[in-house]
Amino acid sequence: MKQIFQSIITVITILLITADVNAQVNIITGEYFFDNDPGYGNGTAIPVATPSQNLVSLAVNANVASLAYGMHTLFIRTKDANGKWSMSYDAFIAKVQAPLPNTNTVGNIDKLEYFYDTDPGFGSGTDIPVASPAINLTNFIFNADVSTVSYGMHTLYIRARDVNGKWSMSNAYVFAKVQPMSGNPNTITNINKMEYFYDADPGFGSGTDIPVTSAANLNGFVVNADVSSLSYGLHILHIRSRDTTGKWSMTNAYSFAKIQLPLPNPDTISNIVQAEYFYDNDPGFGNGTSIPTLTGSANFLNASFNADVSALSNGVHTLFVRTKDSSQKWSISNRLMFAKIQTLLPNPNTISNITNVEYFLDTDPGFGNGTPVTITPAMDISNISFNVDLTYVVSGAHELFVRTKDAQGKWSITNIHVFNGGIIPTPIKLVSFDAILQKDNTVLLQWITDLEANVKSYVIEKSTDAAQWIWVANKNPLSPNSNERRTYNLLDEHPGTGIIYYRLTELDINGEKTTAPIRFVRINNVSEFATVVYPNPNDGKRVNIQSDLFKDKKVELAIIAADGKLYRKQTVSLTGKSLITLSDLNLPSGTYFINLTTESEAQTVKLIVETKDL
């Protein structure tokens, strides 16, 4: 039995960088801590023998003696001569128990045991004698007693123990114990009865009888199955046989459809006499926009027509087209997804110089109201760099937005970069924020803090699309400042129905605010086939889509950007499942629409992507 061990991590080498890239002052000290922040200056000190603006390849001996075995996070930060602390840099480490007694010694296997289905505990299985203990036992054969095992599926487990008392992993083998045939298993008996039934089993011998001539095998046997009593639609035909010993065969199943014959003549293909189209929502047969060019023939190949989109809003839509023949039968509605986008003005082929660049943090002040960045006008601006003023920014997670304007006055899409930073210490340390659906369809909003500094109030808001927010309630802190753990509860008695998103915002006495991650609940009297995507907003790499449309249906899935560009299209077929995870998307920042389309229904859900690479 092969044993693999790892040693205890005792020394960790970390590269320390400057505390503040914009302030050219020396780093004078450093500190480290594990898992939980003890507060600035309260970590384990890292001596800095020679203060410098940059400390490169500084080796730090981090003492892990007091840590429990398992995964931990090591945090390191530095302080400069102005008393400013750097961001905390983290690294995941594992402290594992050293092997005993000797990692280089491989012990002989001296015991084997097996058991079925349920583990009785190490050493309590059925013993397998080992005549000659050895490091490896190959081609080892033993007899496993199945006399006490019931008929059906079971799992056989086998494991070994070495002379050091270490047990191997349990090897599992699935098998079936089947009932032996009565009489003579080598005798094939004649088939003397057959029967069939539709959809639901009436019981052995209660199906519709199929007359047969007794024989051991019935090859090329034709059955006339009466379908006159069946309704139109999909059905399953079941057929089985019985032999002279009274044993029934397995039931064979065949799916088929009973369809209504066209009138008046099933062999006559009628001409198309009417065609129509519509967008997004079905107005009813005959109420779409008429297509006069698609009439008067039994088939139209490579036909084209002009579909008027002038009344449509900019964005993603679905075009439906269908026809009616002279027998007054409508075809299936054919569908095509497309995007109507705003035309470029005045000339889409002219590329104008970029004349303005601006940035802002977290909240959009409006086009032209951001902080300006000095540039030289050009059609393309690459490798541009500028300083972002963080003087009055609260320490924590923020979003940096950057956009440009060209000589025609057109603004670009706003680029978003998520980062951690800020000079002002964070006013709160939020442990958790949760939205909990109650049995009476109210929602309990609960948040827990470990630190509060100059807190004025907490604001709870909710939304049905995570974009437009409405106020729910304000809640004052127990006191503006606290170093103790506090729990706050607030009940939303009228949350609404569907997918309800909640947002928690802390307001401090200086007018600054801190927003917690968004939470959502799903309240049941939403449509049976409601679709949810999460996380939303998203980092553009991986998204989960949950929808009852996936259950036992073939779904066409498409991800389309707001400008109409198709990023992903695939067919999804799940059995009894409602959740799919899409990975390796690599979507850039922006707004997207996830479209799910079946033969009878279509749904669209908005996805917001905010990339995190700065």
CA 583 from centre of chain: 8
Give the type of residue at 394: V
Instruction: Provide the 3-class DSSP secondary structure of residue 405.
Output: strand
The CATH number of the domain covering residues in 531-609: 2.60.40.3080
Q: Minimal CA–CA distance to 523: which of 557, 543, 493, 550?
A: 493
DSSP string covering 407-457 = TTSPBPPPEEEEEEE-SBPPSEEEEEEEEEE-TTS-EEEEEEEEEESSEEE
The model's pLDDT over 443-495, given as tens digits with 9 standing for 90+, comes to 999 988 888 878 888 999 998 877 788 999 999 888 778 888 889 999 998 88
263, 327 Cβ separation under 8 angstroms: yes
The CATH number of the domain covering residues in 354-421: 2.60.40
* Burial of residue 123 (number of CB atoms within 10 Å: 0-12, 13-18, 19+): exposed
| 12-95 and 191-258, same CATH topology | yes
Tell me the domain boundaries of the chain: 12-95, 109-177, 191-258, 272-340, 354-421, 428-523, 531-609
What stretches in the chain show pLDDT beneath 70?
1-24, 98-105, 180-187, 261-269, 295-296, 298, 300-302, 342-350, 391-396, 421-428, 524-530, 552, 612-614
d(CA 56, CA 425): 27
Residue 326 zone, left/alpha/beta (φ > 0; ψ -120 to 50; rest): alpha
Q: Is CATH 1.10.3470 what the domain over 12-95 is classified as, yes or no? A: no
> Tokens 């023939």 appear where?
297
Q: Supply the pLDDT for residue 287.
A: 93
Q: Minimal CA–CA distance to 94: which of 12, 13, 16, 33?
A: 12
d(CA 580, CA 472): 33
A 10 A CB-CB count for 56 gives: 8
Give the type of residue at 588: P
Give the CATH architecture of domain 109-177.
Sandwich (2.60)
> Tokens 């066409």 appear where?
556
Q: Supply the pLDDT for residue 584.
A: 82
Residue 528 token pair: 């049976």
Q: Is CATH 3.30.450.20 what the domain over 428-523 is classified as, yes or no? A: no
Q: Supply the pLDDT for residue 31.
A: 94
Residue 555 token pair: 């779904």
Q: Which residues contact 425 (CB under 8 A, 6 or more apart)?
A: 394, 395, 453
Cis peptide before 129 (omega within 30 of 0): no
Task: Could you please state the CATH topology (level 3) that the domain comprising 191-258 is classified under.
Answer: Immunoglobulin-like (2.60.40)
- Angle at the Cα of 364 (from 360 to 367), degrees rounded to 5? 90
H or E segment to which residue 109 belongs: strand 109-116
Q: Supply the pLDDT for residue 76.
A: 92
d(CA 1, CA 110): 10
By residue count, the chain amounts to 614
